[in-house]
């Protein structure tokens, strides 16, 4: 016959880690270098190199076994059957490459034979030896993986007995189509033997749900032209060998219910049963455990003629526990004598099993109930978190009272009553306002975790979870709070159960009071008076006790500005390292903490008392508070100002009057007193509250709170002072004594310096005309006159003309009216400011501020700021040029 090729394909996905040709293709091989070192601060550093990556190339190898050349086909691959008959040829396809590959299957029909058999290929998908899945697409195999194949060859009409058909299964890599395996020949010869074809059907067809009853009909039909007969000792029934034609059907994942009928066109039909998948047989229905049935037809010679039938009909039930997507069915096979030798030593006389399968349909359902009882019928109690919970029917309820502010948790059990793994959404509802209830995971040690919906539960298995509620303090007195727990399966109906909190009792309250630093002594509400000076803090020793049932933190409050500190050592003193606190750490039930409340006394407060109320408020529930009321006393405080120090010069024998201001900044009226100051070094002192006098050796009076009075000190210099070195600095004291208790006093003083020497700083200012804005060329101003548009350069020269150093000398100037600023320049170390000294720059400003003035100074200490640290020695100075354009 002419050679032809038929393409066949199949889908199969297998993965394997073992590779026939080495490492899996696409594998990334990476390498990273790391450098560690220390910086100048002796700290460890780590640096990683760039990542070097190589990737493995794929190799393609295709193997089909067994091998057989066209001219030397082994006897085991030379099969026979009648016209219309089918024979099966097993093959194994292996991916010998190093990566996943797809393979197309085809057939080569020999051109040197008599006919082309009809060819199809099947795979054994689940490894049970049944080849029921026809190949329809490329086969995907992981490296080194194999798949078992079965080629079914059928003799078409037309060939004569003795004709042969030769073919080969060809596998081709889709990754590299040049890689094929073609040396896999087999032969089919047309025979004249009698054959019995077997069919296996199920009703109803399609899918079936668990519990459904299916009817199976197994029929054997003798092919036209060739009768069949009995096989000697084909089966042992109840211990005795029997001869005949035998058709068996082995049940797969089914519960046998009844054998409906056995029949045969000729011969005597007997129903047989087996409980061990056909190893032993009995003619009596054992009633249970049947997993194989058969029909034995007994007769003489070739008693089943062409067209005769043998039929077995039985019913079986899909198990209630059958999982969705699983299959149930039967596999039927026949044994007969097709050539009159009463044996089955020829391959056609034992038929290939004919399987029929039904896929189990998906059933969705779920049940939720109390712990360990998802489908009601609950009894007994269990304890969780110290709470005893009683189960009854489909509900559970607490027997132990729940204390407000604590948590109550129920164990729940969900069962997936469906036959497929499914997702369930778990929820809890019915909690009163203020309650926080969640569904949680829970382990065997009652530890709760976060539950993320949906949860996946395998078919017919249980899933334990918890419903946990934070019971608010406001729930005290609540009874019979029913929580509805709902489990909703994807694609199914929800189921509910009820968990009830029977009673909620009130929680103990916190207690804030005055403390003594000892945890052994309870806080007291007895009023305590604490005094404080204005502008200072009054320190109250407090103790806070958590009287509640759970860990609680408390927010502390008191009079405005109060700062709370932890009194770690209980000594009533705010020691270094004792932290301030606005909200305490969580206190365990019965735990207390010592505190110090620093209450500020406002500066300037008058003496007196006021209530100091301190409050602790739970962070869990703002209604849980505790307060204590103490008394804050404002102390009388002596304070004042006596300003300012004065330094004046005069000629020998002359007088100067140092002007000062005395202010009572205390919180009440005060008496003041000054003098006498004895004459020393010839300098005589006298006092007055008026610059015009009279001046006396002493001074006294009364000042109300906040009141001031001038104090003048007249100093007469000695007549013989030289004026070069003679001077005197005298401390002038004034005492303020408060009139109110505890009548504190304070002595204030100023320093009055009277000198007889001259410290003189001079500024010399001159003006020139500039030829242009650069002022590179200047000329004198003739007759002191300028014209609009003229550019005038002012030169300001600062000189210390005195005999002592100048500190922080500042030069200020203002742009003359009717002029426009052009520029400023200065010598080395000269700084400028156009914002009143807030900032300084060594770069001459290009514009002035809105006030049109500037400051300049010599930065003698190089700190970029003009202040008192910058000095001008006697005779030293600096120059600034100030250029303007006449408007």
Is the residue at 704 inside a domain?
A: yes
Extract the tokens encoding 9.
């394909």
CA distance 462 to 467: 16
CA distance 102 to 172: 8
Q: What is the three-class DSSP state of 87?
A: strand
CA distance 504 to 469: 12
454: preceding bond cis by omega (within 30 degrees): yes
Contact 831, 852 (CB under 8 A): no
CA distance 733 to 546: 56
Q: Which residue has the tokens 């700084």?
A: 831
Kindly state whether residues 518 and 651 are assigned to the same domain.
no
Give the pLDDT confidence score for residue 815 in this predicted structure.
80
pLDDT in tens, 419-460: 999 999 999 999 999 999 999 999 999 999 999 999 999 999
| Pairing label, strands 402-403, 495-505 | parallel
Kindly state whether residues 664 and 777 are assigned to the same domain.
no
pLDDT in tens, 247-272: 999 999 999 999 999 999 999 999 99
Residue 783 backbone phi and psi in degrees, to 5: 55, 20
Is the residue at 671 inside a domain?
A: yes
| Pairing label, strands 563-566, 511-514 | unpaired
DSSP letter for each residue of 231-294: EEEEEEETTEEEEEEEEEEEEES-EEEEEEEEEESSSEEEEEEESSTTSSBBSS--SS---EEE
pTM: 0.47
How many C-beta neighbours within 10 Å does residue 678 have? 8
pLDDT in tens, 640-653: 999 999 998 775 67
Kindly state whether residues 11 and 127 are assigned to the same domain.
yes
Is the residue at 40 inside a domain?
A: no
Question: Where is average pLDDT lowest: 203-217, 376-390, 724-738?
Answer: 724-738
Contact 262, 271 (CB under 8 A): yes
State the average pLDDT for the chain.
Answer: 88
Kindly state whether residues 666 and 749 are assigned to the same domain.
yes
List beta partners, residue 466.
Answer: 411, 440
Average pLDDT estimate for 88-102:
91
Give rounded-to-5 percent helix, strand, coil for the chain.
0, 50, 45
Is the residue at 32 inside a domain?
A: no
pLDDT in tens, 275-293: 999 999 999 999 999 999 9
Give the pLDDT confidence score for residue 595 in this predicted structure.
97
How many C-beta neighbours within 10 Å does residue 233 have? 13
Is the residue at 39 inside a domain?
A: no
Question: Where is average pLDDT lowest: 49-53, 205-209, 533-537, 595-599?
Answer: 49-53
What is the share, in percent, of the chain residues with pLDDT greater than 90? 66
Strand segments (E) across 694-760: 699-703, 708-716, 727-738, 745-755
Extract the tokens encoding 84.
């219309």
Number of domains in the chain: 6
Write b or e for each residue in 822-831: b if 16 or more Cβ atoms lie within 10 A of its Cβ, otherwise e.
bbbebeeebb
Is the residue at 96 inside a domain?
A: yes
Extract the tokens encoding 538.
């009054």
Q: What is the three-class DSSP state of 659?
A: strand
List beta partners, residue 437.
Answer: 469
Extract the tokens encoding 662.
């005395």
pLDDT in tens, 804-855: 666 777 888 888 887 789 999 888 998 888 998 899 899 999 998 888 887 7
Kindly state whether residues 484 and 549 are assigned to the same domain.
no
How many C-beta neighbours within 10 Å does residue 777 have? 10
CA distance 865 to 853: 18
CA distance 628 to 583: 17
Q: How confident is the model at residue 221 (pLDDT cuts 50, 70, 90)?
A: very high
Kindly state whether residues 222 and 344 are assigned to the same domain.
yes
CA distance 623 to 686: 68
Q: What is the three-class DSSP state of 421?
A: coil
Give the pLDDT confidence score for residue 813 in this predicted structure.
81
Kindly state whether residues 142 and 262 are assigned to the same domain.
no
- State the DSSP code for 679: -
Q: How confident is the model at residue 161 (pLDDT cuts 50, 70, 90)?
A: confident
Kindly state whether residues 619 and 667 are assigned to the same domain.
no
Give the pLDDT confidence score for residue 50 in this predicted structure.
53
Question: Which residues are CB-neighbours of 678 under 8 A, at least 6 positions away?
Answer: none
| Last-in-domain residue among 161, 190, 219 | 190
Give the pLDDT confidence score for residue 348 in this predicted structure.
57
CATH number for the domain harbouring residue 840: 2.60.120
Within 13 Å of residue 319, how many CA atoms lie on the same side as its CB? 17
| Last-in-domain residue among 149, 174, 190 | 190
Kindly state whether residues 238 and 272 are assigned to the same domain.
yes
DSSP letter for each residue of 494-527: -EEEEEEEEEEEPPPPPEEEE--S-TTS--B---
Give the pLDDT confidence score for residue 801 in this predicted structure.
73
pLDDT in tens, 128-154: 767 888 898 999 999 899 999 999 999
Kindly state whether residues 211 and 325 are assigned to the same domain.
yes
Kindly state whether residues 225 and 320 are assigned to the same domain.
yes
DSSP letter for each residue of 115-168: ---EEEEEE-SSSSS---EE--SPEEE-TT-EEEEEEEEEPPSSPPTT-EEEEE
CA distance 373 to 366: 13
DSSP letter for each residue of 785-800: ---TT-EEEEEEEEEE
pLDDT in tens, 675-691: 999 999 889 999 999 99
CA distance 682 to 331: 139
Give the pLDDT confidence score for residue 344 in this predicted structure.
63
CA distance 117 to 119: 6
CA distance 450 to 763: 82
CATH number for the domain harbouring residue 274: 2.60.40.1510
The sign one gets for the Cα dihedral 770, 775, 778, 780 is: positive
Kindly state whether residues 445 and 474 are assigned to the same domain.
yes
Is the residue at 43 inside a domain?
A: no
pLDDT in tens, 22-56: 556 765 534 443 333 333 334 454 544 455 344 54
CA angle in degrees (0–180, nearest 5) for 692-695-697: 165
Average pLDDT estimate for 476-484:
97
Q: How confident is the model at residue 230 (pLDDT cuts 50, 70, 90)?
A: very high
pLDDT in tens, 162-201: 899 999 999 999 999 999 999 999 999 887 667 788 999 9
Helix (H) / strand (E) element for 352: namely none
| Last-in-domain residue among 190, 211, 229 | 190
Average pLDDT estimate for 353-366:
95
Question: Which residues are CB-neighbours of 580 under 8 A, at least 6 positions away?
Answer: 563, 564, 565
Contact 525, 614 (CB under 8 A): no
Is the residue at 41 inside a domain?
A: no
What is the share, in percent, of the chain residues with pLDDT greater than 70? 89
Contact 328, 213 (CB under 8 A): no
More confident position, 384 or 602: 384
Q: Torsion angle of alpha carbons 397, 402, 407, 412, nearest 10°?
A: -10
Distance from first CA to last CA of the chain, Å, rounded?
120
Counted residue by residue, the chain has a size of: 887
Q: How confident is the model at residue 721 (pLDDT cuts 50, 70, 90)?
A: very low
Extract the tokens encoding 194.
């009698």
Domain assignment of residue 824, given as a range: 761-886
CA distance 697 to 716: 13
Contact 832, 824 (CB under 8 A): yes
Question: Which residues are CB-neighbours of 13 under 8 A, at least 6 positions away?
Answer: 140, 142
Question: Which residues are CB-neighbours of 784 under 8 A, at least 6 positions away?
Answer: none
Q: Which residue has the tokens 């406001």?
A: 474
CATH number for the domain harbouring residue 730: 2.60.40.10
Q: Tell the burial category of 591 from Cβ atoms under 10 Å away from its Cβ (0-12, 13-18, 19+).
A: middle
Taking alpha carbons only, the member of 589, 577, 581 closest to residue 563 is 581
Q: Which residue has the tokens 């596999």?
A: 331
Give the pLDDT confidence score for residue 793 in this predicted structure.
86
Question: Which residues are CB-neighbours of 854 under 8 A, at least 6 positions away?
Answer: 812, 813, 824, 832, 833, 834, 845, 848, 882
């Amino acid at each position: 016959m002419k050679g032809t090729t038929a393409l066949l394909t199949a889908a199969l996905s297998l993965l394997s880690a073992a590779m026939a040709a080495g490492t899996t293709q696409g594998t990334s091989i990476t390498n990273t270098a790391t450098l560690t070192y220390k910086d100048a601060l002796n700290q460890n550093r780590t640096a990683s190199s760039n990542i070097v990556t190589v990737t493995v190339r794929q190799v393609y190898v295709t193997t089909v076994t067994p091998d057989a050349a066209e001219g030397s086909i082994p006897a085991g691959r030379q099969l026979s059957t009648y016209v219309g008959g089918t024979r099966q040829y097993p093959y194994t396809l292996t991916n010998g490459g190093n990566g996943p590959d797809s393979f197309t299957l085809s057939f080569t029909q020999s051109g040197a034979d008599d006919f082309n058999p009809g060819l199809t290929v099947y795979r054994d998908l689940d490894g049970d030896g049944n080849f029921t899945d026809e190949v329809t697409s490329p086969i995907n195999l992981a490296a080194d993986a194999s798949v078992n194949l079965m080629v079914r060859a059928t003799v078409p009409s037309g060939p004569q007995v003795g004709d042969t058909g030769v073919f080969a299964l060809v596998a081709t890599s889709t990754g590299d189509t040049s890689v094929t395996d073609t040396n896999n020949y087999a032969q089919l010869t047309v025979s004249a033997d009698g054959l019995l074809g077997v069919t296996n059907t199920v009703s109803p067809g399609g899918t079936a749900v668990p519990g459904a009853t299916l009817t199976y009909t197994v029929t054997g039909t003798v092919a036209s032209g060739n009768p069949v007969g009995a096989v000697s000792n084909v089966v042992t029934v109840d211990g005795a060998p029997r001869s005949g034609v035998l058709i068996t059907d082995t049940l797969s994942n089914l519960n046998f219910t009844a054998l409906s009928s056995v029949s045969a066109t000729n011969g005597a039909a007997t129903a047989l049963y087996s409980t061990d998948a056909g190893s032993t047989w009995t003619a009596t229905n054992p009633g249970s455990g049947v997993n194989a049935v058969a029909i034995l037809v007994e007769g003489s010679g070739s008693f089943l003629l062409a067209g005769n039938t043998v039929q077995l009909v039985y019913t079986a039930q899909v198990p209630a526990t059958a999982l969705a997507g699983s299959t149930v069915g039967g596999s039927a096979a026949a044994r007969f004598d097709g050539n009159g030798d009463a044996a089955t030593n020829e391959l056609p006389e034992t038929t290939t099993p004919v399987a029929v399968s039904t896929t189990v349909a998906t059933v969705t359902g779920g049940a939720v109930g109390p712990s360990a009882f998802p489908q009601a019928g609950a009894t007994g109690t269990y304890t969780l978190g110290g709470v005893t919970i009683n189960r009854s029917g489909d509900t559970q309820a607490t027997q132990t009272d729940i204390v407000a502010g604590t948590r109550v948790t129920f164990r729940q059990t969900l069962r997936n009553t469906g036959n497929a793994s499914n997702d369930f959404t778990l929820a809890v509802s019915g909690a009163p306002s203020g309650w926080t209830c969640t569904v949680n995971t829970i382990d065997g040690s009652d530890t709760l975790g976060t539950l993320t919906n949906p949860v996946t539960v395998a078919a017919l298995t249980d899933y334990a979870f918890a419903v946990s509620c934070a019971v608010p303090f406001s729930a005290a007195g609540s009874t019979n709070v029913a929580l509805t727990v709902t489990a909703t399966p994807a694609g199914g109906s929800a189921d509910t159960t009820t968990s009830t909190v029977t009673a909620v009792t009130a929680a103990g309250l916190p207690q804030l009071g005055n403390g003594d630093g000892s945890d052994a002594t309870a806080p007291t509400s007895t009023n305590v008076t604490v005094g404080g000076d204005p502008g200072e803090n009054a320190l109250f020793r407090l103790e806070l006790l958590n009287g509640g049932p759970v860990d609680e933190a408390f927010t502390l409050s008191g009079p405005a500005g109060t700062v709370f500190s932890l009194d770690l050592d209980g000594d009533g003193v705010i020691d270094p390292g004792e932290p301030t606190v606005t909200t305490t750490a969580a206190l365990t039930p019965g735990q207390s903490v010592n505190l110090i409340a620093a209450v500020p006394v406002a500066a300037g407060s008058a003496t007196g008392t006021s209530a100091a109320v301190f409050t602790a408020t739970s962070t869990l529930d703002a209604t849980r508070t505790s307060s204590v009321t103490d008394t804050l006393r404002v102390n009388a405080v002596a304070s004042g100002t006596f300003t300012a120090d004065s330094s004046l010069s005069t000629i020998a024998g002359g007088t100067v009057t140092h002007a000062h201001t005395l202010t009572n900044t205390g919180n009440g009226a005060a008496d003041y007193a000054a003098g006498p100051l004895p004459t020393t070094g010839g300098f005589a002192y006298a006092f007055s509250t008026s610059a015009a006098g009279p001046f006396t050796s002493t001074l006294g009076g009364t000042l109300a709170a906040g009141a001031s009075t001038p104090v003048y000190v007249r100093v007469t210099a000695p007549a013989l002072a030289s004026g070069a070195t003679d001077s005197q600095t005298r401390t002038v004291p004034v005492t303020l004594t408060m009139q109110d208790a505890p009548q504190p006093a304070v002595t204030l003083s100023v320093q009055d310096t009277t000198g007889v020497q001259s410290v003189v700083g001079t500024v010399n200012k001159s003006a020139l005309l500039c030829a242009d804005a650069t002022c590179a060329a200047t000329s004198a101003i003739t007759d002191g006159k300028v014209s609009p548009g003229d550019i005038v350069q002012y030169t300001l020269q600062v000189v210390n003309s005195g005999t002592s150093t100048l500190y922080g000398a500042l030069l200020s100037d203002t742009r003359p009216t009717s002029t426009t600023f052009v520029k400023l320049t200065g010598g080395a170390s000269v700084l400028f400011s156009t914002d009143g000294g807030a900032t300084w720059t060594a770069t001459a400003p290009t514009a002035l501020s809105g006030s049109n003035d500037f400051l300049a100074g010599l930065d003698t200490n190089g700190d970029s700021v003009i202040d008192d640290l910058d000095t001008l020695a006697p005779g030293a100075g600096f120059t600034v040029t100030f250029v303007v354009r006449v408007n």
